[in-house]
Structure formats: C-alpha cells, structure tokens
Structure 1
Amino acid sequence: MEAMQVKLIDENRYADEMRETVLPALATCRSEGWMAPADDDGLPPLQRAGKLHYVCYDAAKFDRLGEDGAAATFRGAVVISHGFTEFAAKYAEMVWYFLLAGYSVCVFEHRGHGYSARDVDNSSLVWIDDWRRYVADLAKFAETVGKDYADGRPLNLYCHSMGGGIGASVLETHPTLFDKAVLSCPMIAPVTGMPNWLASVLAGAMCRLGLGRHMVFGQSEFTPELDMADYEGASEARVRWFQQQRIDDPHQRTYAATFAWVRQALRLSRAVQRPEACDNVETPVLLFQAGRDVWVLNEPQNRFAQEVNSDGGNVRVVRIENSLHEIFSMPNAVLGPYLERILGFFGSSEMPTF
C-alpha cells in the first residue's frame, strides 16, 4: 500500500482549528469509561482502590459527519498507550488523524495519570509499586475494550515513550494480541542523567529509606509557565496547546517522577531487553526514534530491534534525525511524513520499506 496522504491541521490556525473543527467532531463519537485494574496473581495487592479511565472514539459515528478527507472505510481500531505524565486529551490531534483514516481509537490512561486511579495525593507526582501493573492493565484494556472497537478487524497499537516501554512488554507477553504496533520513541531505556545501573541503585536505596513517594531530585511540580527554549524546533502551536490542557484541568498536571517510579521504570527497561523476552515478539513493529531525544536512549531501542529480529521477529527502525522526543509535537514538515508512514504501515499487508 502506498503511503496515505494526511491533511494536517494548519499550525498558523492550530488552536482555532482544534476548537472549531477537531474537538466538536471528536465529541460526536466520543465515549468514556472506567475499567477495574487487572487481577494478576503475580502482582502485590493494590494499596488504594480505584478504576482506570479510558476514552474511545467510534469510527462509524465519525464517518457520518462527512468530514473532508475521511476515508469512509472502517479499518479496525488503534489502542493508544501514552507517555509518562501524559493524558488522553493530549492525543486529540492523533485521534483525529486515525479517525480520518478509518480507525476507531481507544485511549487508555495509565494508572497514576489523567482521570485514572492514583496512589499519591500530589497531582504532580507519578508513583507505581510494580511496573508489571502497567503491562497487565494495558493488556486487559486491549483484550476487552480494544477488541470490541476493532469488531473483528485489525487491532493496532500506537504508543509513545513510557507507553512504548509498556507496549513492548505487552508485545512480549501477549504476542498475538495486536496485529501491528508503532513504538514512537519507546522507553526501552530512560535517560536518568547517570548510568542506569547507578540510577537503579540510588532509586532502590531511596525506596528502602521510605522515600519512594518523594519527588526525584531536580524535578518540580507543575507550573503554568512555559519556556519555549525547552522545545526548540517543536511546533509552538502544539506545545502551547498541550500546556493549556494541563492548565485547564487539574487531572492533567502530572509532571514529575517519584523514586519508586524511577526504580520501576528501570526494572521495566531490564525486563523488555532480555533476549528470551524479545524472542517472544510476533507482532510487526514500526519503531520511531528521534535524533534529538533527551528523555529515552536510542541505542537500547536498536538493541531491542536487533534482538527481536534475530529470532525471526519483524521490527523496522525509522530514525528522524531532527526530531525531539515527541514527534507528534513537531512542525507539519516532520509530522506529515511520520503520520503517512504510520498509516501506510497499519494499512499494508506487508512491512513497508522506508
């Protein structure tokens, strides 16, 4: 299949187009729900009760709107697994493009994020007791809600950063769950500012001292101020839109890691890179990496791909040299080819060559 052309939102009118066109259209096909956490015998008991939030968008209802550029052909469903400190509303633009291409979309908010159950009172902090909880919850969501929306057609996975590390583990533990998967700058290994083995030792020591729920040194709580110098090269319109979502909704202000989260992120990193785990991946994977990434490491992504491919798997790595970590936040000149590759991959019967 040839790369699918995408009509992108005009960056010069970004906020207006989001408010006037995209969000009203999404509202007509949007539903939300709450899922009980996965019941996994290998996980410790939950310390706090609560359900996990998700938002879904029905392609059939969307198609009835007759939006310009819509495929009007149902192709299945896409499950979105977001990154660290993110939330469902941040992916409205990506949801819009998937709907235009004919996919229903199911966005899952990981534990401790968005409207899902939290285990700390400070809305800026992210804490998790066991990384396997993320994996079990995402797999349950895809097996139930995702498959329902796919309605017998392909069920695909799109994930970013932390959500990509979680997604990689799901591909290893549930090798037939998804038909295809896009790992966008996946957290196969995070950037910690020091060798990750040392960060693991330090985070473990802080947890043993009873400081697992404390904010990691050097991070901060959410503030409404935005310094575009931190996003040089990104689309200012998109970055400001994301920030406004946080300002407008206290549920969307997760911003900093706890020592326990760092400890578990590094345990996840080690687990997904194990050769015996990589050997289990059967799903065709398109892995994007950013040349200017400061949040996750590129080389472990390459090793992950090589390890999966060495045992007959199918991972294709696409490197975007001039991109920041959030490729979906980049200007249209970068976002357009990125989206076309994703949609071409999802829509093809074979692994496309790029």
Structure 2
Amino acid sequence: MNVNLIDENRYADEMREKVLPALAQCRAEGWMTPAESDGLAALPGRSAGKLHYVCYDAAKFDALREDGATGLFRGAVVISHGFTEFAKKYSELIWYFLLSGYSVCLMEHRGHGHSARDVDDDWLVWIDDWHRYVADLAKFAGTIGKQYADGQPLNLFCHSMGGGIGAAVLEQHPTLFDKAVLSCPMIAPATGVPNWLARVLAEVMCGVGLGRHAVFGQGPFTPEFKPEEHVGASQPRVRWFHECRCEDECCQTNAAAFEWVRQALRLSHAVLKPAACENIETPILLFQAGRDIWVLNEPQNRFVTNVKNGGGDIRLVRFPDSLHEIFSMPNDTLHPYLTQILAFYESSEIASL
C-alpha cells in the first residue's frame, strides 16, 4: 500500500495545519490504573498514579474525508514508544496508520510523558522492575487496544525501549497480537561499555543506594536544538520532535537512572533466552538501523535466530544507512520503511512480503 508522505519542505506547516487538527478530531485521552502482577511490589504514594494514553478512532478519522484515506477499517495498532519519548512525537506515524484504516492506541510508559512518575526529578527515567513495563503494556493492549480493534486484527508497533518491552510481551502473551513490528528494538541497549561491565557497574551503583541517580554523563533536558546530533536524519522532523519537547515539560525526560540501566540489562537477558523466544507465536517484522548508536545490532540478530529456531515467524529488514529512529529519516528512507510496515500488517503471511 502506498501512502503520500508529508512534504519535508513544508513539514512544520503541514503538521500544524493538516495533521494535528485532524488528529484532534478523532482523539480520545484517558488514564489507566497500572497492572497488578504476581511478583510486582505494590506502588505507594505518588507512584500509584495512573498511566496516560491517547487513542485515535479510524471511523471518526474517515468521516473527515482526508485525502488519501482508505475508508476501510483494518483493526488497530498499539504503539509502544521508546526511552524518553511521548505520545505527540508519533503524530506523523499515527496519521499514516489512520490513513491506512487503522485505529491507533498509545500508552505513555511509566515515567514518561503524562504517566505516573516515581522520582522527583521529572527529567530522570527510573523503574523498579522491568516486568512492570511488560504487565502495563499487556493490560493496555488487552483492554483498550482490543476495544479499538473491534474484532479486527490487533497489531503492535514498537520502537527502541518499547521494542524490548514489546518482545517480552510477545513472549509472555503469545496470542495477544496478530502482527508485530519491532523497529530498532532494545533487545540490548548500547551502554558505551561492554554490557557485562555495564551490568556489574549498575548492580554496584544500585547496591550502594544510587539507583535513583542519573548515570554518568547524562542530565536534564536543554532547549537548544543541536542539528549536529542528527546528521543524516530529516532535519524538519527531528527539529519538530525537539520543539514538541520544548512545549511540554512532561515530555522532557532526558536521562537514565542507574536502576533503569540495571532493569534494561535484565530485560535484555530475559528476552534473549531461547526458551522465551520459543513462546512467540506472533509474526514479527524487525527493522534494524546500520547507524544505530542507542541499541546493539548483534543481539537483534540473535533474537531473530532464536525465534526462528523456536519455530517462530520473523523477518529482519536492515536499513544500513539509517539512524536509530528510522521514522525520523528523510522521505526516501521513510517511504520504503512505511510501505513494508503496511504491507506486513495487511499480508496473510510474512513470507509473502
């Protein structure tokens, strides 16, 4: 399926004048009580707050008669976002999913966006147990996601940290989703040092009571946009992402706590276990970026091998020249990326792609 992409030369104008007004007319906002799961400690005080989500109804969107909309309802897509991300960042991708006939549901993970926080410094991301991310996403998909799918396929789209969480959900809830796209998933984070050493350091720092402190070299969000940090990306896209963060203090998470690093590495160890990979029944399309500095490629390759060896249906597509956020790249990269995602969701078998 072909979708007309937003003109990069008029990106900010098209987002403000066309995309955001249309999304506002089919958008619903809500808050979900965090999941309860065996082995997870009760959440005290401020931490007991709810998780924020936004949903977009395909039928209401079609009623707007936007140019390019299919008018054919195909189900719903649940989005699992990445580290320090937030709902509004996915507005363009949500627009394309709606044009293609999918309702869209996105819950801001714990410690992100407008969801409940567990630390006083809102720029810092902390989690006590990675299983909590997984339980919350599974609950959200199994309730709100299923409601918006309305008996049609329920698909998953994950990016980065959200991909690591999504992989664990696919292992623990093998019949929840019909199809899953893992875009540069955090099967293992890139910590800047060998991950075995990062694991030791994180365990030590948490063991001496510094689990809620920012890791070395990371700190609060700064409003200055630095184009040199996004060489090769679509500058209008990444500048718009940055401006969204500047406009909303809740979207300015910017650093990892040592406990988050410890939990990310524990998540990585768990999702790569062959026995866990064998549980996956959902067909998966995994995208890999050759210029990724945030997650590691080799563990993604091992994950694909383990899923295949376990009898799973998975395909890897590599964009060798892409940065970590493939959806932030120029249109000549975004177009084949998006086309393959939509073809995968619509296909009866992954092998037909």
TM-score where L is the length of structure 1: 0.98
* Residue pairs, 1:321-332, within 5 angstroms: 321-332=320-331
Matches of 1:317 and 1:101, distance apart in 2: 23
Matches of 2:56 and 2:299, distance apart in 1: 34
Aligned twin of 1:44: 41
Aligned twin of 1:259: 258
Aligned twin of 1:130: 129
Per-residue CA distance 1:302-353 (angstroms, 9 max, x = gap): 1101101112101100000110000000000000000000000001111145
Per-residue CA distance 1:209-251 (angstroms, 9 max, x = gap): 1111100001121000111111100000000000001100000
Aligned twin of 2:152: 153
Residue 316 of structure 1 aligns to a residue whose secondary structure is: strand
The offset of 1:42, in angstroms, is: 1.3
Matches of 1:268 and 1:118, distance apart in 2: 20
Q: What is the total number of aligned residue pairs between the two structures?
A: 351
Aligned twin of 1:12: 9
Aligned twin of 1:276: 275
The offset of 1:197, in angstroms, is: 1.0
Per-residue CA distance 1:32-84 (angstroms, 9 max, x = gap): 10000001121122142100000000000000011110010000000000000
Aligned twin of 1:342: 341
Per-residue CA distance 1:243-289 (angstroms, 9 max, x = gap): 00110000000010000000000000000001110000000000000
The offset of 1:170, in angstroms, is: 0.2
Matches of 1:44 and 1:123, distance apart in 2: 22
* Residue pairs, 1:155-174, within 5 angstroms: 155-174=154-173
Matches of 2:334 and 2:214, distance apart in 1: 33
Matches of 1:56 and 1:280, distance apart in 2: 29
* Residue pairs, 1:222-261, within 5 angstroms: 222-261=221-260
The offset of 1:126, in angstroms, is: 0.2
- Residue 35 (str. 1) matches residue 35 (str. 2): no
User: Can you give the 5+ residue segments of structure 1 that lack an aligned partner in the other structure?
Assistant: none
Residue 318 of structure 1 aligns to a residue whose secondary structure is: strand
Matches of 1:49 and 1:77, distance apart in 2: 28
Aligned twin of 1:67: 66
Matches of 1:315 and 1:298, distance apart in 2: 16
Residue 350 of structure 2 aligns to a residue whose secondary structure is: coil
Matches of 2:131 and 2:48, distance apart in 1: 17
Matches of 1:41 and 1:343, distance apart in 2: 36
Equivalent pair of 1:345/1:352 in contact (CA under 8 Å): no
- Residue 193 (str. 1) matches residue 195 (str. 2): no
Aligned twin of 1:219: 218
- Residue 121 (str. 1) matches residue 120 (str. 2): yes
- Residue 181 (str. 1) matches residue 152 (str. 2): no
Residue 198 of structure 1 aligns to a residue whose secondary structure is: helix
Structure-2 change in CA distance of 1:352 and 1:332 (3 Å): farther
AA of the residue aligned to 1:24: P
Aligned twin of 2:22: 25
Matches of 1:207 and 1:299, distance apart in 2: 27
Matches of 1:45 and 1:193, distance apart in 2: 33
Matches of 1:266 and 1:193, distance apart in 2: 13
RMSD of aligned C-alpha atoms? 0.7
Matches of 1:169 and 1:45, distance apart in 2: 21
Matches of 1:164 and 1:32, distance apart in 2: 23
AA of the residue aligned to 1:337: P
AA of the residue aligned to 2:208: L
AA of the residue aligned to 1:15: A
Equivalent pair of 1:79/1:157 in contact (CA under 8 Å): yes
Residue 234 of structure 1 aligns to a residue whose secondary structure is: coil
Matches of 1:353 and 1:186, distance apart in 2: 23
Matches of 2:310 and 2:352, distance apart in 1: 20
